[in-house]
Amino acid sequence: MSISPILVITGASKGIGFKTALKFLGLGYRVINLSRTPAPHDDIENYQIDLTQPDAEAEIKSFVDTHLKKTKICLVHNAAMLLNDTAQGTDSASFKDVLNLNVVAPHILNQHIIPFMSEDSSIIYIGSTLSEKAVSNAYSYIVSKHAIIGMMKACCQDLAGTGIHTSCICPGFTDTEMLRQHVGESVDSLAKLSTFGRIISPSEIANTIEFAALNPVINGAVLHANLGQVES
């Protein structure tokens, strides 16, 4: 008997993660959300975990051993932390917290889930426009999102011959709770920074993730999903 393909996604309780979970449910995937907060849908399997905590790796191993079998898996590294911080004003503890969630957690998940991935599986990283450039007041986030591109490219090379493909989707200004918390009431003013004069919906990024996951030709690639940002 064939096993249904599986989506394992972090941070699917809202925003891009939730829309991606719904998208893959519609494709017939078993969907598993790893996050502190459950996704609000009965067909999504929620595994509550804080990926920043010291015991996260042990919890991930327990989850994998209990819930996964070798099959087609799409692993989406979506969960992320964004702080208002600067290079000169960020304490080490806060910096480590961001790196633990944005960089170390994807590494740990890769280590434990890749052995369960059959051919045609995929690993999709969610980067950012800030994966390849920088602005002020988002220091730790920018550092981590640059690192994610490096991780994706290294995985592409190390997974050669396995039939597993990987890519990094870099959204522009997307209408998520994280963005609104970061920029406050000025979020709608970001529309002028797009050549389409609007910000992106989480569903548009979910569609891009689906495309990357289902097309192995998109391997080792960085895809900027930003509506064409206006460059000053």
Any idea what the CATH number is for the domain that residue 182 is in?
3.40.50.720
Other Cβ atoms less than 10 A from the Cβ of 40: the count is 11
- 230 inside domain: no
Establish if 41 belongs to a structural domain. yes
Burial 126-157 (b: 16+ CB within 10 A, else e): bbbbbbeeeeeebbbbbbbbbbbbebbbebbe
Quote the pTM value.
0.94
Is 74 inside a domain boundary? Answer: yes
Beta strands in 3-128 (DSSP E): 6-10, 30-35, 44-48, 73-77, 122-126
pLDDT of amino acid 191: 77
Q: What residues have CB less than 8 Å from 229, skipping those under 6 apart?
A: 129, 172, 193, 194, 195
Please report where in the chains the tokens 């944005």 appear, as a residue: 102
Containing structural domain, residue 41? 6-225
Is the Cα torsion angle 180, 26, 114, 34 positive or negative in sign? positive
- So what's the pLDDT on residue 183? 63
Read off the amino acid at residue 170. C
In a domain, 124, yes or no: yes
- Reading the block at residue 46, the tokens are 């929620």
Domain membership flag for residue 12: yes
Asked if the structure places residue 231 within a domain, the reply is no
Residue 198 lies in a domain: yes
Question: Is there a contact between 200 and 173 (Cβ–Cβ < 8 Å)?
Answer: yes
The tens digit of pLDDT for each residue in 172-202 reads 887 767 666 666 656 677 778 889 988 889 9
Cβ atoms < 10 Å from Cβ of 227: 20
Regions of the chain with pLDDT less than 70: 1-2, 176, 178-187, 232
Domain count of the fold of the chain: 1
Position 89 in a domain = yes
pLDDT at 36: 93
